Each structure stands twice: as structure tokens, then as C-alpha cells.
């Protein structure tokens, strides 16, 4: 039995039914059947006047167990989900002849919130998290959420919450009338019990959400809202259908009544949960959860140490972005610079960063000053004595970095963690003049760091387990998804991304149109094409990155000559309004016909003929020719033991490169081809265009054995 519910009847005549499926009180067929049984049981009990539904241990319910979707393809749950939605949620729970109130603490997601929506009232704590998050798994709310949420909060807000899988806290839920009252955790059950009795005594309304109409827009207005929602989702994500299916189901309820639409919803859920989109998204969900499981460390159950004060060393854009991110997460920040002028400039830049952010968030001047007040600029190490973490982001000078780390050991307390942001030198070299290798790691924020939700933690064999745990916890506090990898000549996840960009440059140098490449990749699902991406990174930064990358990892590397040509004529990317694209005052990018001239020059320089075969290259081939080298590099990373699981690179590709999550990540996607196919393509291209495409040993081996590239058990042995 997977989970159940428990009933307790109080002297006040209120039965409290608690969902009991630790740790998150996920819903399962067993939980739902037990809920039905217990509601029916309490309905016939004479000593029960009203019912409260809650979750044990301060968690209402994190929703239905998604292992029932996608990953267990073909295996149906014991009873169809439609049965549960209509027979249990609607005909038993909502139709109960005794008032039913939900007491929500912790979280109410997906099916969990949908149970609460079917109750006659909802009381929540102010910090509870509520949301219909189903679309993030390629399905739609399947327990009546498509019908009840619009009727409780109005169509525009419901669409926003459902289509974006948006979570709101109790306070916001109250302001939306999604919950009826807020109560502190220790009084929650008491308030909910009294509310249920008040409904019985007609002191509070007995609301059946499914038939509530006052918040619903009139049909014509509703149709206009739905139409623009359709256009929006089609534009944002033309490759997936589930948001459109969801909108259709919502509309069906408004047009032909909610009861009929519940059946439509159930049918749609059955269909969507078998889709490849659902399988891929569920894979990414679990892969993301696996990321923080570090073999050999997680079992130690170490508790993370608190990090309150962080020092950032070094100038430049990156360090000011890092410092601003830290301040916005309420860390005290010490910023160390070489001289007064640089320090002044940097502090000025950080204030600008904060101002942008706080303005965007419509927060006030007071908040800005308070946040800025957490920053202290210094020129020496005296303030480092009580710092918990140092992030070194100095220029790429080994001697300078070694000196900094030697000073850190001298001035900081013994538990302070030292990290470098460098991608050039190995951590071993950077820490050579210290005796504290166990406290040294690398943190890599992805560009642009305030936006990218991903963070790499790079460790050596000497980095202590406690430091890893502390940094994972720090990453989460920074609202980033942290991935732990081994030190690999400065590059781990980035090598996959750089290879992807190199493949695009190589292809255009051989004759494929720049803008066709970008379009092929955006149609595939990347948020930007590779050339728009290079423009955004900036050609100077990209060229520098390529130089270091090629020096450190010469195997199958590529020298993107075109970048140098463009730099020589001052085309630096979005920053100076011209790169592969032209940019207007509002940073809107448009293709520039002049690019073809520079391409011709580069081809002359490289002495490569314009390959006529590539002239009318189909989009599908472009995608393969750009993404297969990245898969090849990812396989190299796996075989070197840089990551623990191949699925780690799926998450890395989704969060760090923008690979579409509905394709499951780069390695997961590779499984939609036979490994032999990938191998033979790489082999052919390597003959035609050089070693850049040469399949690595892992791909060669797997292809010869007819094995998938995804094989968590047999992937490369971890170096750690």
C-alpha cells in the first residue's frame, strides 16, 4: 500500500482526515481510495458533523506521484485517473453532505491543491505554497483543477497559474480568494474545524467551486482571454501541445458546463501522460532531484554549515554580478579590490545592478538602501577574519591567484571555504601555496549569472565532503540548481556548450547560412540560436573562452576563425550593437546581410571551399550536425567520470545551455537515435570536416555494442 489517510473525530463533532504518505504526502491510488473510504465512513457516523482534510507533519500534499506518468509508459495506475477525479474528488468529496474544509500547511501542489479546491472552504498558513504545477510534466491538472481554479480566482489569474505552473504563497492565495482565511500553523486546525462548523450553521457560505460562477468572465470576454493565451503559448513553445490541450479543456467547461469538461480533462490527462513530452519532462524532474545526491557523501548525512558573510575578490562584470546576487539574497558581502579607483567603480556598478533589480521588482528605495548596506568595499584582508566563504574572480593570472589563496589561508578562519571562479587553471595549481586543499573548490555561475538558474560546483579529490554540502546548500540559497562535478582543466559542463557553439561556427564557415542555423536551432527549441547566443556572451569573452578551452582541451577542439574576423572589424556582439546581428536602440536583433562578406573572407583565409552540399542543407541535418558534437563531448565528460550520472548532463544542458526540457536533456534526447547512427554521422563528418567531429571512445564503444548512450549504471567511473 502506497500511503493512506487517517481519521480522528474530536469532541466538537469534526472529523480530521489526514493524508499520510511521508515525506511529502504524495497522492496515490491507495491514498485516494482510502480518502474515499474515510469520507464515506464519516458521512454515516452520527457523531461527525463536519470534516477537515489536512496532511500529516505540516505538509498538505505535494500532489500525485508523478512516477505514475511518463516514465512508467504503458503501465496504467490501478484505476484510471478519471475515476478518481469524478468519483472521488467530485462525487464523494465535493458532493459530501457534511461541510468539508481544507487545512493547508506546507505545500498543496497539483492534485493536492485540486483536492483542496473541491473542499467547501480552504484555510492556509501564510507561508504555505500552492500551485497547479502539472504543466511542468507535460500533463494538465487532472483532478478538476482546470474547472475549479478559474471559477475561484477568475480566468486570467487561473491561466497564469496553470500555464506557468506558478506557485503562490498563502498570503497571495488569500488575496486571490483561492483560500478563505489565513491562520498560524499552531491554530490552523482549530480555525479550519470552526470554519467547517460555521458552514454547517450557515454562518459561512457552503461553496461548491465547480458551479461557482461569479468570478468567471462572460463567454465572449472569456473567449478573447483564451484566444490570446493560445497565441502566447504557441509563440513561446510551438513544439508542445499540452498547454493548448489544457486551454481547450478550460474552454470546454465554460462553453458546455464543468461536469462534461471534467471528463474531457480526464481523457486529456490519460493521453498526455503517455506522451514523449511527459516522459521527457518527468525525466528532467527526477534528474534534477538526483543532482544533489553525491555518492559517498549524501549517505554521511552531514548538516550544512551556515554561510552568512561572503567575500568577493576581483574586478569586472562577473564579480559585480556575483556581489549583487549575494546582496539580493541577504548575504553580508565584503568586496576586495586592488585600488580605490577600481573599488569605487565596482561599488558603483553593484549599486546599478541592485537598482535595476529592485526597480524591476517594484520594491522601494528603503529596500535598496538596506540591501546596499550589506556591502562593504575593502582594499586589504583585515575584514576577512569572520568571512565564511570567499569567491575569487580575479583576472586569469596564476601567480596572482596563488598569492590570493595564500593570503586567504593566512587571514581567514579555519572553516572558511575558498572558491575560485577561474576556468583556466586547475584548483590544484591555484591552491599550490596553501595547506588547505580540503577547503578549496570552484564555483561557476553561468552567464548571464543573475538570470541563469544553474551553478557548477567543481571539486578536487581533496575537497572535503562538508565543503561540498555547504556549497550545495549555498547554491540553493542563491536560488540556483547546483551540480557537483570534478575538476577537469577548468571546463566541465561548459565544454559541452562551447562545442555546440563551435559546431555552429564551423558549419557556417563551411557554407551554411548563419541565420538559417539560428532558425533551425530555435525551431528545435533552443531559446536562442548559437549566433545570437555568441552575440549575447560577447565576442571578446567568447574568443577568450575558446582560447583557454582549446589550450586546455585540444582534443577535437575548433578554432573559430570567423570570430576573430568579426572582432577585427569591431563587431563585438550585443554590447556594441553589432555582432552576427545588428541591434537597434531597444536591443532588437536583426540579421545583417554584410555578414556574408565577412564569411567569404574567412573562407578564403581558411582556404575552405563553400561546400555546395551545405548550401541547401535541411534544418534537421543542421540540428544534428551542431548537437551531435555536443553529445560527443558530453559522452567524453561521462567517460572521464566528471559527472556522476549521464542524467546530470541532461539537467546541465537544460539549465545551462537552454536545451528544451521537453526533449529531456541532451543525453536523454540522444536516445531518440540509435548510438550507431550518431557514431556513423560523426565518423562521416570527421572525414569530411576534420577531427572536431571524431567520435570519442565512449560513443565508438557503445555504438559497436549497439548500446544506448544513456546508461547510468555503466557510465564512466567517477573520478571522485
Ligand X SMILES: C[C@H](O)CC(=O)SCCNC(=O)CCNC(=O)[C@H](O)C(C)(C)COP(=O)(O)OP(=O)(O)OC[C@H]1O[C@@H](n2cnc3c(N)ncnc32)[C@H](O)[C@@H]1OP(=O)(O)O
Active site residues: 114, 134
Among 133, 423, 494, 675, binds ligand X (CB under 6 A): 133
Q: Which stretch binds ligand X (CB under 6 A): 21-29, 231-239, 689-697, 712-720?
A: 21-29
Q: Does 664 bind ligand X (CB under 6 A)?
A: no
Q: SS3 string of 488-539? A: CCCCCHHHHHHHHHHHHHHHHHCCCCHHHHHHHHHHHCCCCCHHHHHHHHCH
Q: Does 26 bind ligand X (CB under 6 A)?
A: yes
Distance in angstroms (rounded) separating the CA atoms of residues 469 and 298: 8
Among 55, 141, 560, 629, binds ligand X (CB under 6 A): 141
**Do 488 and 642 touch, CB atoms closer than 8 A?**
yes
Residue number with CB closer to ligand X (107 or 328): 107
User: Minimum Å distance from CB 290 to ligand X?
Assistant: 7
Distance in angstroms (rounded) separating the CA atoms of residues 448 and 451: 6
Residue number with CB closer to ligand X (65 or 392): 65
Distance in angstroms (rounded) separating the CA atoms of residues 451 and 510: 33
Among 138, 142, 538, 579, binds ligand X (CB under 6 A): 142
Distance in angstroms (rounded) separating the CA atoms of residues 290 and 146: 31
User: Minimum Å distance from CB 710 to ligand X?
Assistant: 19
Q: Which stretch binds ligand X (CB under 6 A): 4-12, 129-137, 492-500, 520-528?
A: 129-137
Q: Does 163 bind ligand X (CB under 6 A)?
A: no
Distance in angstroms (rounded) separating the CA atoms of residues 226 and 211: 20
User: Minimum Å distance from CB 612 to ligand X?
Assistant: 51
**Do 427 and 420 touch, CB atoms closer than 8 A?**
yes
User: Minimum Å distance from CB 641 to ligand X?
Assistant: 22
Residue number with CB closer to ligand X (143 or 628): 143
Q: Which stretch binds ligand X (CB under 6 A): 116-124, 135-143, 181-189, 199-207?
A: 135-143
If one counts every other C-beta atom within 10 angstroms of the C-beta of residue 23, the result is: 8
Residue number with CB closer to ligand X (472 or 709): 472
Distance in angstroms (rounded) separating the CA atoms of residues 106 and 141: 20
Q: Does 24 bind ligand X (CB under 6 A)?
A: yes
Query: Could you tell me which residues are beta bridge partners of residue 419?
Result: 391, 441
**Do 303 and 343 touch, CB atoms closer than 8 A?**
no
User: Minimum Å distance from CB 654 to ligand X?
Assistant: 16
Residue number with CB closer to ligand X (81 or 191): 81
601 phi, psi to nearest 5 deg: -60, -45
**# binding residues, ligand X (CB under 6 A):** 23
Q: Which three cell numbers stand for residue 371?
A: 540591501
User: Minimum Å distance from CB 94 to ligand X?
Assistant: 15
Encode 503-542: b = buried (16+ Cβ within 10 Å), e = exposed: bbbbbbbbbbbbbbbbebbbebbbeebbbbbbbbbbbebb
Q: What is the x/- site pattern for ligand X, positions 49-68, by CB under 6 A?
A: -------------xxxxxx-
In the region spanning residues 578 to 637, those forming contacts with ligand X, defined by CB under 6 A, are none
Among 55, 117, 121, 134, binds ligand X (CB under 6 A): 134
- The residues, any chain, with a CB within 8 Å of residue 242's CB and separated by 6 or more, are 135, 138, 139, 140, 272, 275, 277, 278
Residue number with CB closer to ligand X (143 or 668): 143
Q: Does 72 bind ligand X (CB under 6 A)?
A: no
Of all residues in the shown chain, the one whose CB is closest to ligand X is 110
**Do 636 and 696 touch, CB atoms closer than 8 A?**
yes
Residue number with CB closer to ligand X (65 or 592): 65
Q: What is the x/- site pattern for ligand X, positions 286-305, by CB under 6 A?
A: x--x----------------
> For the chain, how many residues are written?
720
The torsion of the CA quartet 91, 97, 98, 99, rounded to 10 degrees, works out to 70
- The residues, any chain, with a CB within 8 Å of residue 579's CB and separated by 6 or more, are 531, 534, 535, 539, 566, 571, 572, 573
Among residues 381, 476, 354, 339, the alpha carbon closest in space to that of 390 is found at 381
Q: What is the x/- site pattern for ligand X, positions 75-114, by CB under 6 A?
A: ------x-------------------------x-xxx--x
Residue number with CB closer to ligand X (284 or 526): 284
Binding site for ligand X (CB under 6 A): 23-24, 26, 62-67, 81, 107, 109-111, 114, 133-134, 137, 141-143, 286, 289
Amino acid at each position: 500500500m502506497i500511503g493512506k489517510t487517517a481519521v480522528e473525530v474530536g469532541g466538537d463533532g469534526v472529523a480530521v482526515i489526514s493524508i499520510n504518505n511521508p515525506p511529502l504526502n504524495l497522492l496515490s491510488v491507495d491514498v485516494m481510495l482510502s480518502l474515499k473510504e474515510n469520507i464515506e465512513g464519516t458521512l454515516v457516523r452520527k457523531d461527525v458533523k463536519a470534516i477537515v482534510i489536512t496532511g500529516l507533519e505540516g505538509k498538505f500534499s505535494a500532489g500525485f506521484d508523478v512516477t505514475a506518468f511518463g516514465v512508467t509508459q504503458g503501465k496504467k495506475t490501478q484505476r484510471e485517473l478519471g475515476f478518481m477525479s469524478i468519483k472521488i474528488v467530485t462525487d464523494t468529496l465535493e458532493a459530501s453532505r457534511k461541510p468539508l474544509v481544507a487545512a493547508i500547511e506546507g505545500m498543496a501542489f497539483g492534485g493536492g491543491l485540486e483536492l483542496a479546491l473541491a473542499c467547501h472552504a480552504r484555510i492556509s498558513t501564510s507561508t504555505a505554497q500552492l500551485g497547479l504545477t502539472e504543466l511542468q510534466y507535460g500533463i494538465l491538472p487532472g483532478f478538476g483543477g482546470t474547472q475549479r481554479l478559474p471559477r475561484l480566482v477568475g480566468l486570467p489569474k487561473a491561466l497564469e497559474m496553470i500555464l506557468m505552473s506558478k506557485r503562490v504563497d498563502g498570503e497571495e492565495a488569500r488575496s486571490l480568494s483561492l483560500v478563505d482565511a489565513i491562520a498560524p500553523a499552531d491554530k490552523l486546525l482549530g480555525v479550519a474545524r470552526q470554519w467547517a462548523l460555521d458552514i454547517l450553521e450557515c454562518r459561512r457560505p457552503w461553496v461548491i467551486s465547480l458551479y461557482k460562477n461569479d468570478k468567471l468572465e462572460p463567454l465572449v470576454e472569456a473567449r478573447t482571454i483564451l484566444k490570446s493565451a493560445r497565441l502566447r503559448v504557441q509563440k513561446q513553445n510551438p513544439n508542445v501541445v499540452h498547454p493548448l490541450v489544457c486551454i481547450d479543456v478550460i474552454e470546454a467547461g465554460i462553453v458546455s458546463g464543468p461536469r462534461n469538461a471534467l471528463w474531457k480533462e480526464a481523457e486529456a490527462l490519460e493521453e498526455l501522460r503517455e506522451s514523449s513530452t511527459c516522459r521527457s519532462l518527468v525525466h528532467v524532474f527526477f534528474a534534477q532531484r538526483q543532482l544533489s545526491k553525491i555518492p559517498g557523501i549524501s549517505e554521511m548525512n552531514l548538516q550544512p554549515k551556515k554561510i552568512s558573510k561572503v567575500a568577493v575578490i576581483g574586478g569586472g562584470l562577473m564579480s559585480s554580478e556575483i556581489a549583487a546576487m549575494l546582496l539580493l539574497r541577504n548575504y553580508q558581502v565584503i568586496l576586495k579590490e586592488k585600488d580605490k579607483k577600481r573599488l569605487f567603480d565596482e561599488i558603483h556598478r553593484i549599486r546599478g545592478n541592485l537598482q535595476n533589480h529592485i526597480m524591476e521588482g517594484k520594491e522601494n528605495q528603503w529596500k535598496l538602501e538596506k540591501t546596499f548596506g550589506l556591502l562593504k568595499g575593502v582594499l586589504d584582508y583585515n575584514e576577512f577574519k569572520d568571512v565564511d566563504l570567499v569567491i575569487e574572480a580575479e583576472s586569469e593570472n596564476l601567480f596572482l591567484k596563488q598569492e590570493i589563496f595564500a593570503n586567504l589561508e593566512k587571514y581567514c578562519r579555519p572553516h572558511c571555504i575558498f572558491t575560485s571562479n577561474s576556468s583556466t587553471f586547475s584548483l590544484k595549481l591555484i591552491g599550490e601555496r596553501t595547506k588547505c586543499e580540503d577547503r578549496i573548490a570552484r564555483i561557476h555561475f553561468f552567464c548571464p549569472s543573475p538570470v541563469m538558474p544553474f551553478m557548477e560546483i567543481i571539486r578536487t579529490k581533496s575537497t572535503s565532503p562538508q565543503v561540498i554540502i555547504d556549497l550545495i546548500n549555498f547554491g540553493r540559497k542563491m536560488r540556483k540548481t547546483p551540480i557537483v562535478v570534478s575538476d577537469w582543466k577548468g571546463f566541465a559542463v561548459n565544454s559541452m556548450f562551447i562545442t555546440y557553439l563551435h559546431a555552429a561556427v564551423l558549419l557556417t564557415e563551411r557554407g551554411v547560412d548563419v541565420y538559417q542555423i539560428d532558425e533551425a536551432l530555435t525551431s528545435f527549441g533552443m531559446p536562442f540560436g548559437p549566433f545570437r547566443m555568441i552575440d549575447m556572451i560577447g565576442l571578446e569573452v567568447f574568443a577568450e573562452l575558446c582560447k583557454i578551452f582549446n589550450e586546455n582541451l585540444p582534443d577535437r577542439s575548433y578554432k573559430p576563425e570567423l570570430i576573430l574576423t568579426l572582432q577585427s572589424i569591431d563587431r563585438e556582439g550585443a554590447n556594441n550593437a553589432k555582432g552576427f546581428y545588428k541591434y537597434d536602440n531597444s536591443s532588437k536583433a536583426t540579421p545583417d546581410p554584410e555578414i556574408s562578406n565577412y564569411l567569404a573572407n574567412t573562407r578564403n583565409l581558411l582556404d575552405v571551399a563553400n561546400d555546395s552540399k551545405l548550401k541547401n542543407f535541411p534544418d534537421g541535418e543542421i540540428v544534428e550536425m551542431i548537437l551531435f558534437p555536443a553529445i560527443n563531448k558530453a559522452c567524453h565528460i561521462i567517460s572521464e567520470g566528471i559527472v556522476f550520472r549521464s542524467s546530470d548532463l541532461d539537467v546541465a544542458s537544460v539549465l545551462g545551455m537552454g536545451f528544451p526540457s521537453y526533449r529531456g536533456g541532451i543525453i536523454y534526447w540522444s536516445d531518440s537515435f540509435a548510438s550507431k547512427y550518431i557514431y556513423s554521422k560523426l565518423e562521416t563528418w570527421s572525414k569530411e570536416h576534420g577531427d572536431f567531429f571524431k567520435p570519442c571512445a565512449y560513443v565508438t564503444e557503445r555504438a559497436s555494442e549497439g548500446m544506448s548512450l544513456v546508461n547510468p549504471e555503466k557510465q564512466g567511473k567517477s573520478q571522485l
